[in-house]
Amino acid sequence: MTPGRRGLWVVLAVVVPLAIALAACEATGWTFLRGPLQNALQRAAAVPVTIEAPFQAHLLWRPRLEVGRLQVGSVFGTEAPPLLDGRRVSLAWRWRDVWRWHRGDVLQLRALRADALDVRLERLADGRANWQLGNVRRPTTAPTSERVALPRIGQLVVSDARLALDDRVRDTQLRVELRGRESTGADAVTSGHQATIKGRYRALPLNLAVRAGGALPLLHETDEGKESAAMTPLRVEGEVGASKLLFDGQAAALLSARHLDGALRFGGPSLARVGEALGVTLPHTPPFDLQGRISHHNGVWSLRAERATIGRSELNGEFRYDTRARPSRLSGRLGGPRLELADLGPAIGAPTGGGERQHSATPRPARGRVLPEKRFDLPSLHAMDADVDVAIDELVFATNAMTPLHALRTQVLLDRGVLELHGLKAQVAGGQLSGNTRLDTHAQQARWAAQLQFGGVDIAGWVRGIRTREGERKAPSSNDARALAQQRREARQQPDRPPPAYLTGQLDARIDLTGTGTSTAEILSTLGGQAHVGLREGTMSHLITEALGLDVAQALGVAIRGDRPLPLRCARFDFATRDGVMHIQRGVFDNPDSTIRVAGRIDLRDETLALAARARPKDVSPLSLRAPVLIGGTLGRPQVGIEGKQLTGRVLGAVALGAVAGPLAAVIPLLDTGTEPEKDPCAASNQAAGAQAPPKTETPPR
């Protein structure tokens, strides 16, 4: 026998028995390897591993393992709950994936099947996680932002699975019960899992019912800068805190990069409670309901709000929230047919227009005070930056005394704690409002500033409270400039008709004010600056004119024949404000019957009024008391009276003269022959001749 032939027989003598042995072992399931395999897995995972019978392994072709029970311990020690505890478990893998895992890649399994599966995932505050298997370990000093990848499984089929997640890095505790099957292959559409999720995500309690095409894509970890490898259908319905949630779309990697896209329906008692949990600055509001579409990719949230109701407000918009920026940045567009300020009232410390629960959440001002005293949440203005364009068709004030603004346009800018309304524009009762406001929160006391201009605003069309009963019935729409102008012309040109309002005209104003504080009341109590207000092409009620002049005879005549409008020659008010006290530097109403001057102050520190109005008739009146009308009290409870000294002197003089010379002589002290009309009563040089302010009273201690 030649050497070559002998070598062939030697090889055959070795290979054939080995092949027979391998085939026999493969056929019997390698039962004798249960102990060695358990030890090998334990060494590879660096945690305790238990494999219980029945045991079947197939290692040569499509390797897989079937065990009665598989338990994988925790890297935190034997006292900690195991990472995985499964019964009647089947694992399938590829050897090349095991080799890559050994070299440091993420562990990948072809399939995992189990009758029962209990998984406990835990990550400590220092970043160590119990799913960090193998030789790669996170040191206790590792940054918490570094991610630890979960094993990736191609197919998961479980009859009953429970997952507990305690992630202290993300301040999240969840309990998940799962049933179903999944696949990342062609049958992913027909496969699915049903799950219930209870616990909390950050500070937000969760109670959700979930249906997903696959559970594993939702758990896979990916980098922020990479797209998800596979998105799975996802439907989520239930409660998020006190809010109701419905999401229907697809998602992946919810524990890391969070890739998702789908339709959203979300409603609850207040936007602020949602914003607190998400780290987004949102105002306190009445109940809200949102319908739209939401997505998140690579650290950027996108929301298209097709319809959003907050209280009685109806809004829409598109927003982008970038969590990668430092601080996070919100941008987009807010629009809609209607926004009621009462629905955002608590954002400025005022009561909300919502239900009883929201009213009780906002402290009411002290007794007798009306300015909101609730402190602003100034730290929240540093939590993010914002650049949002606003386009609202109708802005409704928190009081019925004023008609809404229309076509509101502005840009909301929040930059490092500085909040601005830039390029503010709106249509106001046939006129225009424009300007800017700014709230700087860098100092301990926030600094507020406003520069506003009003042009051509119909005063009776804007302020409902000055309309007469007849005018209220015939009031045109507040955004119908032509109808408002026609009503003003008719009031001036047809003086025999009842006035549509006690005061009409086009308002022009310029306001430049600043203040500091942490609430609306505090800012107004430190207010400083100037305000200039003028009224043109207007009228004033004849009855009001005579009442302010205490002209009894003419007031009775007007009351008998009916009120009529008197054309205004001019009307002007100039305010100088310092340390929360608004002083009237010039206050004049001038019409053909009288010149009425107003003087005094409004103290915003204690909300007190000290105003005096004196009318100087231009015609003769046989019965005029000619004493200033005083307005005192507070903003919440104003009080109207008459200057006592002058009134007493004129009345006593009339009584004395009547007693001496007869009843007709008593009229002489009350006779008013009128004054010569001034050329320009609204001029600043003529203000010295006006009404004197009431004596200054001591400000009560604050």
DSSP code string of 93-152: --HHHHHHHHTTSPPEESEEEEEEEEEEEEE-TTS-BTT--SS----TTS-TTS--PPPE
Cβ-based neighbour number of residue 458 at 10 Å? 28
Tokens of 237: 């319905």
Q: What average pLDDT is seen over the chain?
A: 77
Q: How many residues does the chain have?
A: 702
Report the predicted TM-score, pTM, of the whole model to 2 decimal places. 0.71
Q: Read out DSSP for 232-244?
A: EEEEEEEEETTEE
Cα 523 from Cα 376, distance rounded (Å)? 11
334 pLDDT more than 70: yes
Pairing status of strand 192-201 against strand 539-541: unpaired
Cis? peptide before 82, omega within 30° of 0: no
The residue range of the domain holding 635 is: 538-689
Asked if residue 562 belongs to a domain, the reply is: yes
Pairing of β 384-396 and β 328-340: parallel
Give the helix/strand (H/E) hosting 390: strand 384-396
- Nearest C-alpha neighbor of 572 from the set 494, 678, 643: 678
pLDDT at 12: 67
Q: What is the pLDDT of residue 146?
A: 44
Give the Cα separation of 155 and 419 in Å (integer). 51
State the average pLDDT over residues 383-412: 90
Nearest to 381 by CA among 280, 516, 310, 302: 280
Give 438's strand partners. Answer: 420, 449
- 623 assigned to some structural domain: yes
What local confidence, expressed as pLDDT, does residue 68 receive? Answer: 93
Is residue 95's pLDDT more than 50? Answer: yes
Q: Which residue would you say has higher pLDDT here, 524 or 693?
A: 524
645 falls within a domain: yes
Kindly state whether residue 32 falls inside one of the protein's structural domains: no
Distance CA 480, CA 289 (A): 32
How do beta strands 539-541 and 528-536 pair? unpaired
620 lies in a domain?
A: yes
In this predicted structure, the answer to whether residue 416 has a pLDDT above a threshold of 60 is: yes
In a domain, 127, yes or no: no
Model confidence pLDDT, tens digit, residues 613-645: 887 776 544 444 456 778 888 887 888 766 545
- pLDDT bin (cut points 50, 70, 90) of residue 652 is very low
Average pLDDT over residues 650-677: 43
Of residues 186 and 248, which shows the higher confidence score? 248
Query: How open is the CA angle 294-298-302, to the nearest 5 degrees?
Result: 25
Residue 487's pLDDT band, with cuts at 50, 70 and 90, is confident
Q: Running DSSP on this structure, what letter comes out for residue 375? A: B
Higher pLDDT among residues 338 and 62, named by residue = 338
Confidence (pLDDT) at 556: 46
| Mean pLDDT, residues 130-135 | 75
Average pLDDT for 427-437:
93
Q: What confidence tens digit (pLDDT) does each residue in 562-597 have?
A: 678 888 888 999 999 999 999 999 999 888 877 888
- The token duo for 214 is 């696959």
Does 662 fall in a domain? Answer: yes
Q: How many domains does the chain have?
A: 1
Give the pLDDT band (50/70/90) at residue 353: very low
Question: Which of 282-286, 412-416, 420-424 comes out lowest in average pLDDT?
Answer: 282-286
Q: How many CB atoms lie within 10 A of CB 357?
A: 13
Distance CA 451, CA 432 (A): 14
pLDDT at residue number 219: 63
pLDDT value at position 413?
A: 93
pLDDT band at 204 (very low <50, low <70, confident <90, very high): confident
Task: Give the C-alpha distances (Å, rounded to integers) separating 599 from 209, 232, 573, 590, 602.
Answer: 67, 72, 10, 15, 10
Could you give the CA distance from residue 92 to residue 71 in angstroms, rounded to a whole number? Answer: 16
E strand or H helix that includes residue 472: helix 469-473
600-606, Cβ contacts within 8 angstroms, sequence gap of 24 or more:
600/631, 600/693, 600/694, 601/693, 601/696, 602/635, 603/699, 604/371, 604/524, 604/525, 604/527, 604/580, 605/525, 605/579, 605/580, 605/581, 605/699, 605/702, 606/634, 606/699, 606/700, 606/702
CA distance 476 to 461: 8
Tell whether 110 is covered by a domain. Answer: no
Q: How many CB atoms lie within 10 A of CB 72?
A: 20
Does residue 339 have a pLDDT over 70? Answer: yes
Q: How far apart are CA 499 and CA 502, in angstroms?
A: 7
